[in-house]
Amino acid sequence: MEKWQTGDMDAFEALFRQHERLVFSNAYLITGSNEGGMFMYGWMGKILHVNLNNSEIKTISTQPYAEKYLGGRGIASRIYWETVAPETKAFDPENRLIFMTGPIVATGAQAATRLSVVAKSPMTFPEGYCYGNIGGFIAAELKKAGFDGVVLGGCAPKPVYLWIHDNEAELRDASSLWGAGCLPDWRAAPASPW
């Protein structure tokens, strides 16, 4: 195996960049974002933080988490430990429900379709930290909409749903869907814009 010299790193990096453009030119998300001057491959650079108490939606940067924690589960776990106090119960408004994608979601990589879900669970005794994941299209669609994850907290005073599309998010009234079963809710949901 050839040993790389210090001066060769610039040439290696230039070759890698050229190869990357050729291989990943059709991959929508592999280029990531240039959030805060650091190029973050595979990340969009934003996590939605939704406070249901006052309907406030803001974004937090993915960068400080992506630099230190591995993948969607690592980032979601860190956000959980930063925001949920040990005495918080599973159904308290102070609990967080965190959905997080990983860096290779929506790149076309095999088996990169999972969305990590982290929260304090009522199913453990005593109630405690729990994680899981879900599949399907939701992780890729969240990335394509411009976000790496969603952190939900609080308790809405009325029924709402979170609408996310093309770097935008808003809480919309869900009163007309309240009390119906899953199938009627799905059929009555607003039509997809795409």
What is the model's pTM?
Answer: 0.76
The CATH number for 31-188, chosen from 3.30.365.10, 3.40.50.1000, 3.60.9.10, 3.40.50.10140, is 3.60.9.10
**SS3 assignment for the chain:** CCCCCCCHHHHHHHHHHHHHHHHHCCCCCCCCECHHHCCECCCCCEEEEEECCCCEEEEEECHHHHCCCCHHHHHHHHHHHHHCCCCCCCCCCCCEEEEECCCCCCCCCCCCCCEEEEEEECCCCCCEEEEEEECCCHHHHHHHCCCCEEEEECCCCCCEEEEEECCEEEEEECHHHCCCCHHHHHHHCCCCCC
- pLDDT tens digits, residue range 161-189? 999 999 999 999 999 888 777 665 555 66
- pLDDT tens digits, residue range 29-80? 344 455 544 446 789 999 999 999 999 999 999 999 998 998 999 999 999 9
